[in-house]
Structure formats: structure tokens, C-alpha cells
Amino acid sequence: MFHVKHEAWARDALQAGLSLGDREVEALTLYRDHLLETAVPRGYIARSDAGRLWERHLLDALRAGPEIPPDVSVGDLGSGAGIPGIPLAIVRQRGRFSLIEVRRGRGAFLEAVVDRLGLTNAQVVVGSVEGVRERFGICLARAFSPVASAWAAAEPRLEPAGSLIYWAGASFDTAELRSLGVRWRLSEHPGLAEFGPLVIMSRQ
């Protein structure tokens, strides 16, 4: 049976187009606890966000869930503390997630989380994005870099029909996309407007 708070999480997720079951909520709760125990004290997540990890980070990550089809390979660029890659791996079990992180301390944290959650569909890649040779159907970029440099990093690592999901801020101006020569669209959820849009980018 869901805790009251978890019922609220499930309602929030529905606004993002996702239906969470007991397994997903339990795994997200365990991940949230691991962030509080380890990521916040180490500075991987701002201390000011400790009381709003669901709203500020987990729910924000899950907005991309409906954009990730089954059986796709996903590269989380600059995964950091695992957001958005880990929450999405929890709710998209048929996807194959590579959590790419150049900093060894964060890489070790990610490996511990993947092991603790039993995420058999996620692997940690400790190294630079530029050093990755694998090609992905989808790349994720949240708090990674400005949109132009995020596309420059992702594009060589995408399959021919692949796409980048970019977390844009609430003040994002689509004029920033005009010089990139990409096909793009916005994914927005009315109930989550304060987050800003997701920008879905692909080659022309």
C-alpha cells in the first residue's frame, strides 16, 4: 500500500504522462534516500535542495519518460548524481542506460546506486563524453551545458535517427536553436510549466 506521500508522487507523475507502480515508487524512494545520505553531504546535490529532491530533481527527470520508447539505448551525458538517468532507468526497465560521468567520485557513487537498486538495465561509464564510442538512440542532457554545446557533444554519439533530450530552463528562448541546423520540438506538460520545456533535437 502506498504511503500518503507516495500517492502524491504517483499523482505528480501522472501529470508527466507516467503511471508509477509500487516497484517504481519503492525504487525512487530508495534512490531519494541514497541522495540524502550520500550525494547531498558530498555536494553532488545542493544542500538547499535536500528537502525538495522529488520536486526539484526526480519529477523533473521523469518528465522525459514518455519520450523514451522501449528497447532504446540511452546515454546520460554528465550523469553526476544520476539525474536524469537513474529515475528514467527505474521507470523504463526495457531501455538500456549508460550513465556517463568523468569524475571518479561521482562514478563510484553511481555504481553503488546501480548495485543497491538492482538496476540491471543501467551501466556506469567513468570517462569523458568525448571518449565514448557507443552510439545511442537517445542522449540526455540535464544541467550539462548550454544547448549548442550539448548538441555538439551529443550529435556524434547518436545513431542516425537518434535524438537529444535537453532540459531547458523556464526562460529558454528557442532562438538559441536557429543556428544549430537541427530538427526540434518542445515537450511540455501544463501542470509542470514551472520546470520549462524539454527540447527534443535530432538531425535534419
Dihedral-angle region of residue 80 (phi above 0 means left; psi in -120 to 50 means alpha; beta otherwise) = left
Give me the pLDDT at residue 1, please. Answer: 42
pTM higher than 0.85: yes
Following DSSP, what letter does each residue of the chain receive, concatenated? ---HHHHHHHHHHHHTT----HHHHHHHHHHHHHIIIIITTTTSS-GGGGGGHIIIIIHHHHTTGGG--TT-EEEEET-TTTTTHHHHHHH-TTSEEEEEES-HHHHHHHHHHHHHHT-TTEEEEES-GGG----EEEEEESSSS-HHHHHHHHGGGEEEEEEEEEE--TT--GGGGTTS-EEEEEE--GGGGGG--EEEEEE-
**Are the C-beta atoms of 129 and 119 separated by less than 8 Å?**
no
Domains by residue range for the chain, with CATH = 4-203 (3.40.50.150)
pLDDT tens digits along 119-129: 999 999 999 99
Backbone angles phi, psi at 68, to 5 degrees: -110, 110
Enumerate residue ranges in the chain where pLDDT < 50: 1-2
Grid coordinates given for 147: 544547448
Q: Quote the pLDDT of residue 90.
A: 97
Query: Could you read off the pLDDT of 97-126 as tens digits, one per residue?
Result: 999 999 999 999 999 999 999 999 999 999
Cα–Cα distance between 204 and 202 in angstroms, integer? 7
What the block records as the C-alpha cell of 8 is 502524491
